[in-house]
Amino acid sequence: MTNGTANDFGADFEGRVAWVVGASGALGGATARGLARRGATVVLSGRNADTLAALAGEIGGGAEALPIDIGSDPSVRAAADSIAAKHGRIDYLVNSSSVSVFGDFLSLTDEDWLAVFNAKHLGYVRTLRATIPHMIAARFGRIVNVSGRGGQHPSRIHLPGGSANAAVDLLTKGLSKIYAEHNIRINAVSPGPIRSPRLDAMQGAGRPAKGPVLGDGQPDDVADAVLYLLSERSRFITGAALQVDGGGPGLG
Ligand SMILES: NC(=O)c1ccc[n+]([C@@H]2O[C@H](COP(=O)([O-])OP(=O)(O)OC[C@H]3O[C@@H](n4cnc5c(N)ncnc54)[C@H](OP(=O)(O)O)[C@@H]3O)[C@@H](O)[C@H]2O)c1
């Protein structure tokens, strides 16, 4: 219940430091709001400094905007180091970035594919590589990588993004096994269609007519799943890819 004020995760998030990358987007923004409402200090990253500053102002409670381009490894490392230096640790990392590149396979260029992988799979690799050493030092870390249903169920206009999602799920599973011994849990949330500008862009490019059996989701549906996997309610779960896809398309 991300919209609620109930203490639904106990004190899990109080006083914790969360880095949300992709916070200027629909799903990252909802996640940042949900964490802040439950007492976490949230650091908001993406590229759009104005959007991030407006969100930080709206959230209040110590939320801060930290614009970065996750295409640049030095800037990602500098950002992670600055959060750890200022707050002493990074308890949570949420990766929720992507670029909207949709189209027919034969029309998509190398540049399109590279842009998608750079903003998603490789971008996540960079934030993970920069953050995990701080989590190891603190012997605590909870990470959620937002992937996407297209990683398991191909769509003809979304093969670059779907391929990046599949790679994110694999990366998540692998890292979860490597870093479990450091008390770091790493999971993925794999959304289906969620009402957002990104879905509108996909719709414009020819999204399949058959939607999920439960209808399209809302950003808070994803935020709730992310918060669950960050919280101690999910203490026995790592390496999972939680489908938040409204049940997927119905049977023909
Ligand atoms: N919405 C859906 O229906 C849906 C469905 C399945 C999966 N997903 C996945 O869920 C995640 C979030 O989706 P969304 O709908 O919230 O997307 P969105 O609104 O388009 O947000 C994307 C975010 O990625 C950031 N970003 C892109 N390139 C970046 C870069 N080089 N450096 C730093 N930040 C960068 C954007 O920041 P700036 O705008 O500030 O650059 C923005 O914050 C994505 O991984 C997406 O693939 C979404």
CATH code, domain with 28: 3.40.50.720
> What is the spatial distance between Cα 222 and Cα 228, in angstroms, rounded to a whole number?
10
**CA-closest residue to ligand 1 atom 11:** 96
Both tokens of 35, joined, read 């964490």
Q: Answer whether residue 87 is part of any domain.
A: yes
**CA-closest residue to ligand 1 atom 12:** 96
pLDDT digits (tens, 9 = 90+) for 100-143: 999 999 999 999 999 999 999 999 999 999 999 999 999 999 99
Contact (CB, 8 A) for 169 and 147: yes
Q: Answer whether residue 158 is part of any domain.
A: yes
Both tokens of 139, joined, read 């012997």
Q: Answer whether residue 32 is part of any domain.
A: yes
Residue 5 CB coordination number (10 Å) = 8
Q: Answer whether residue 4 is part of any domain.
A: no
Q: How far is the CA of 32 from the centre of ligand 1 (A)?
A: 13
Q: How far is the CA of 97 from the centre of ligand 1 (A)?
A: 4
> pTM of the predicted model, to two decimals?
0.97
**Cβ-based burial of 32 (10 A; exposed 0-12, middle 13-18, buried ≥19):** buried
Task: Quote the number of domains for the chain.
Answer: 1
Q: Answer whether residue 151 is part of any domain.
A: yes
Task: List per-residue pLDDT tens for the chain, 252 residues long.
Answer: 445 555 799 999 999 999 999 999 999 999 999 999 999 999 999 999 999 999 999 999 899 999 999 999 999 999 999 999 999 999 999 999 999 999 999 999 999 999 999 999 999 999 999 999 999 999 999 999 999 999 999 999 999 999 999 999 999 999 999 999 999 999 999 999 999 999 999 888 887 778 999 999 999 999 999 999 999 999 999 999 999 999 999 997
Strand ordering across the sheet containing 141-146: 64-65, 41-45, 17-21, 92-95, 141-146, 184-191, 241-244
Q: How far is the CA of 171 from the centre of ligand 1 (A)?
A: 18
Extended beta strands in the chain, E state: 17-21, 41-45, 64-65, 92-95, 141-146, 184-191, 241-244
Q: Answer whether residue 21 is part of any domain.
A: yes
Q: How far is the CA of 21 from the centre of ligand 1 (A)?
A: 9
Per the structure, the complete domain to which residue 161 belongs is given by: 17-210+222-244
To test the pocket of ligand 1, the residue of 98, 152, 226 to mutate (highest count of ligand atoms within 8 Å of its CB) is: 98
To test the pocket of ligand 1, the residue of 198, 202, 203, 218 to mutate (highest count of ligand atoms within 8 Å of its CB) is: 198
Q: Answer whether residue 129 is part of any domain.
A: yes
Residue with tokens 């614009």: 67
- Which ligand 1 atom is at minimum distance from the Cα of 95? 45
Provide the angle, in degrees to the nearest 10, between the axes of the packed helices 121-138 and 110-119: 20
To test the pocket of ligand 1, the residue of 47, 101, 155, 202 to mutate (highest count of ligand atoms within 8 Å of its CB) is: 47
Q: What Cα–Cα distance (Å) separates residue 61 from each residue in 2, 64, 94, 218? A: 17, 9, 19, 25
